C-alpha cells in the first residue's frame, strides 16, 4: 500500500458513517494486541478548545524531555497531523505500514460477520498501535465526539481527564441539553484519575462533579478568572496565574488564556503522577506551541486571520477576540470569508460574527459531503449583513477578499477547519507567484 492507496482506502471508509459505541473498537484493538494497555493517557473532551489544550500539554511535556504521542482531529493542512510524536508527524511510509495492519484486522472482522470499523475507529486503533510501538511515555488524546461512547474511550489507563469548555454541539448524538452533553463528555473520567475542568455552565459542572465523585477522581477547576495582568495580542499573549508570573503563549485569541490555564493544571496533575516538569520547561513548552487554525495570522498584507469557529460557543469566543485584538479601524474594514458544514450551528455563528463584516464572502468547504452550499449560507448571512457574495471556490474567495480589502483592511476566514487548510495553501501560492 502506498500513500495514495492509503488515502483512497480512508475515503472508502467514510461510507461506514458515524457509529457511537465501543464494541467495534474493542474487538479491533483486541486483534491488534490491545496496544492501549501499554500506554498512559491524558484524555481530553469538550466542545471547544480540545485541540489547543492537547497541543499545549504535548509541547510542555515534550520540552520536559518525554516522548509524547499526540492524537487530535481534524487536520488542517495535512491528514497525518492527526498522529504526532512531539511535533513530528508520522511518516507516509509508517502510516501506510500501520494502516495495512489495522485494515487487515478490520477486514477480518467483517469476514467474521461483525460490523466493519468506521473511519474514526480505524484512525484511533492506528494511533494507539503506532504510539505503543514507539514506546511513548505519555499520549495526549482528543475525543472525536462526546466521550462516553467515543472510540477513544477504549483507554483505561488515563492519568488525567480534561474537560474543556462545553456547549451545544453534536446534539443528535449527545443530547439536546447541557447536562446530557456534559454527562457524555464526562464519560472519559476513569477511576481515581485526575480531572481538570474549565468553568462550565451550572448543569454541566454538576454532571462532571457527579461522575468524578462516582469514580473517586480528584477534580480541579481550571479557573481562568484567577488570571491577572492579562495582555492580549495577535502574535503573543501573557498572563499571571497563581504563582506563575508573566506566562507567555504564542496562540492568539482571548479564549487561549482559558486553554492555557487548563494545560497548566493538567501539567500539575501529571507532576503528581510522577512526571518531572520544571517551570522553565513549562514556559518553554508554551512558547514552542504551534496550533493552526485558531485566530492564526497566515498572511501580512493584507492581514489574513483564520479561525475554526463552527458553533455558537466558539463564535462567542471569536467575537471576543475580534473586539479585544483588532483596532476600531480594523473592525470597521473587516472582510469575512465563511464556510461551514450543514450539521453545525451556522445560523448562530453568522448572527454573532457577520455583523462585524464590511462584506461577507460565503463558500462551500470543498470535497466534504457535509458542506453547506455557498448560496444557501449566503441567504442566512443576509439576515445579519446584506453585503454578502457567494463564490464557487476557495481561490475565488481569496481573490475577491483581496480586492475588497486592499492592503490595509483585515480578512478573517472562519468556520469549518476543513477549508482553512486549503485557503492557507492558496495564500502560499500567491506568495510564490510574487
Q: What is the CATH number of the domain that holds 121?
A: 3.40.1190.10
Question: Are 54 and 185 in the same domain?
Answer: yes
CA distance 371 to 13: 18
Q: Is the pLDDT assigned to residue 180 strictly greater than 60?
A: yes
pTM: 0.86
CA distance 304 to 410: 6
C-alpha cell at 312: 455558537
Q: pLDDT digit string (tens) for 131-176?
A: 999 999 999 999 998 899 999 999 999 999 999 998 766 555 566 6
Helices (H), 232-311: 255-272, 279-287
Pairing status of strand 138-142 against strand 68-71: parallel
Give the confidence band of 259 by pLDDT, cuts at 50, 70, 90: very high
Question: Are 167 and 105 in the same domain?
Answer: yes
Q: pLDDT digit string (tens) for 394-411?
A: 999 999 999 998 777 899
Q: Which of 231, 264, 287 is the last residue of a domain?
A: 287
C-alpha cell at 200: 462550565
50-76 average pLDDT score: 94
Question: Are 329 and 266 in the same domain?
Answer: no
Question: Are 281 and 301 in the same domain?
Answer: no
Question: Are 73 and 26 in the same domain?
Answer: yes
Question: Are 361 and 423 in the same domain?
Answer: yes
Nearest partner of 3 among 94, 133, 76, 107, judged by Cα: 94
CA distance 86 to 66: 9
Q: What pLDDT is stored for residue 182 in this prediction?
A: 93
Question: Are 392 and 418 in the same domain?
Answer: yes
Q: What pLDDT is stored for residue 14 in this prediction?
A: 85
Q: Which residue has the cell 469476514?
A: 111
Q: What pLDDT is stored for residue 301 in this prediction?
A: 87
278-283 average pLDDT score: 98
Q: Is the pLDDT assigned to residue 39 strictly greater than 90?
A: yes
Summary mean pLDDT of the chain: 92
Give the chain's domain count: 2
Q: Is the pLDDT assigned to residue 298 strictly greater than 70?
A: yes
252-264 average pLDDT score: 92
Identify the CATH number of the domain in which residue 322 sits: 3.90.190.20
CA distance 150 to 168: 17
Give the range of the structural domain holding residue 97, as residue numbers without chain letter.
3-287
CA distance 350 to 314: 12
Q: Which of 287, 309, 340 is the last residue of a domain?
A: 287
Question: Are 184 and 303 in the same domain?
Answer: no
Question: Are 121 and 243 in the same domain?
Answer: yes
Contact 130, 69 (CB under 8 A): yes
107-130 average pLDDT score: 97
Question: Are 304 and 268 in the same domain?
Answer: no
Q: Is the pLDDT assigned to residue 434 strictly greater than 70?
A: no
Nearest partner of 168 among 160, 176, 156, judged by Cα: 176
Question: Are 327 and 399 in the same domain?
Answer: yes
Q: What is the DSSP letter of 165?
A: B
Q: Which of 287, 318, 348 is the last residue of a domain?
A: 287
Q: Is the pLDDT assigned to residue 392 strictly greater than 70?
A: yes
CA distance 269 to 263: 10
- Hey, CA dihedral for 249, 255, 257, 258, is it positive or negative? negative
CA distance 393 to 82: 26
Amino acid at each position: 500500500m502506498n500513500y495514495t492507496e492509503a488515502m483512497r482506502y480512508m475515503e472508502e471508509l467514510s461510507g461506514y458513517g458515524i457509529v457511537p459505541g465501543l464494541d467495534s473498537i474493542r474487538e479491533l484493538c483486541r486483534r491488534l494486541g490491545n496496544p492501549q494497555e501499554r500506554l498512559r493517557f491524558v484524555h481530553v473532551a469538550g466542545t471547544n478548545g480540545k485541540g489547543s489544550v492537547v497541543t499545549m500539554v504535548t509541547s510542555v511535556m515534550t520540552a520536559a524531555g518525554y516522548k509524547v504521542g499526540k492524537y487530535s482531529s481534524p487536520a488542517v493542512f495535512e491528514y497525518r497531523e492527526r498522529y504526532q510524536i512531539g511535533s513530528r508527524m508520522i511518516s507516509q511510509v509508517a502510516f501506510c505500514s500501520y494502516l495495512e495492519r489495522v485494515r487487515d484486522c478490520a477486514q477480518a472482522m467483517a469476514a467474521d460477520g461483525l460490523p466493519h470499523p468506521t473511519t474514526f475507529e480505524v484512525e484511533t486503533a492506528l494511533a494507539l498501535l503506532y504510539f505503543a510501538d514507539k514506546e511513548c511515555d505519555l499520549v495526549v488524546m482528543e475525543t472525536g465526539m462526546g466521550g462516553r461512547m467515543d472510540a477513544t474511550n477504549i483507554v483505561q489507563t488515563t492519568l488525567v481527564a480534561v474537560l474543556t469548555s462545553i456547549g451545544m454541539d453534536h446534539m443528535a448524538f449527545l443530547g439536546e441539553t447541557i447536562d446530557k452533553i456534559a454527562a457524555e463528555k464526562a464519560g472519559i473520567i476513569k477511576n481515581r484519575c485526575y480531572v481538570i475542568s474549565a468553568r462550565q455552565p451550572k448543569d454541566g459542572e454538576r454532571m462532571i462533579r457527579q461522575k468524578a465523585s462516582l469514580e473517586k477522581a480528584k477534580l480541579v477547576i481550571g479557573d481562568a478568572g484567577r488570571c491577572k495582568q492579562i495582555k492580549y495580542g495577535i502574535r503573543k499573549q501573557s498572563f499571571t496565574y497563581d504563582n506563575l508570573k508573566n506566562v507567555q503563549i504564542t496562540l492568539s485569541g482571548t479564549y487561549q488564556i482559558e486553554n492555557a490555564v487548563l494545560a497548566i493544571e493538567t501539567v500539575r496533575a501529571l507532576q503528581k503522577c510522577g512526571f518531572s516538569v520544571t517551570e522553565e520547561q513549562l514556559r518553554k513548552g508554551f512558547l514552542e506551541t504551534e496550533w493552526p487554525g485558531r485566530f492564526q495570522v497566515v498572511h501580512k498584507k493584507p492581514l489574513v486571520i483564520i479561525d475554526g469557529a463552527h458553533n455558537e460557543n466558539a463564535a462567542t469566543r471569536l467575537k471576543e477576540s475580534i473586539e479585544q485584538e483588532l483596532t476600531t479601524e480594523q473592525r470597521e474594514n473587516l472582510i469575512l470569508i465563511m464556510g461551514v458544514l450543514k450539521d453545525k450551528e451556522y445560523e448562530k455563528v453568522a448572527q454573532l460574527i457577520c455583523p462585524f463584516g464590511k462584506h461577507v464572502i460565503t463558500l462551500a468547504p470543498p470535497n466534504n459531503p457535509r458542506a453547506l452550499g455557498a448560496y444557501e449560507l449566503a441567504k442566512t448571512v443576509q439576515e445579519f449583513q446584506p453585503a454578502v457574495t457567494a463564490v464557487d471556490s476557495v481561490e475565488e474567495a481569496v481573490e475577491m477578499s483581496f480586492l475588497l480589502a486592499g492592503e490595509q483592511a483585515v480578512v478573517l476566514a472562519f468556520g469549518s477547519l476543513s477549508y482553512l487548510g486549503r485557503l492557507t495553501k492558496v495564500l502560499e501560492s500567491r506568495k510564490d507567484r510574487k
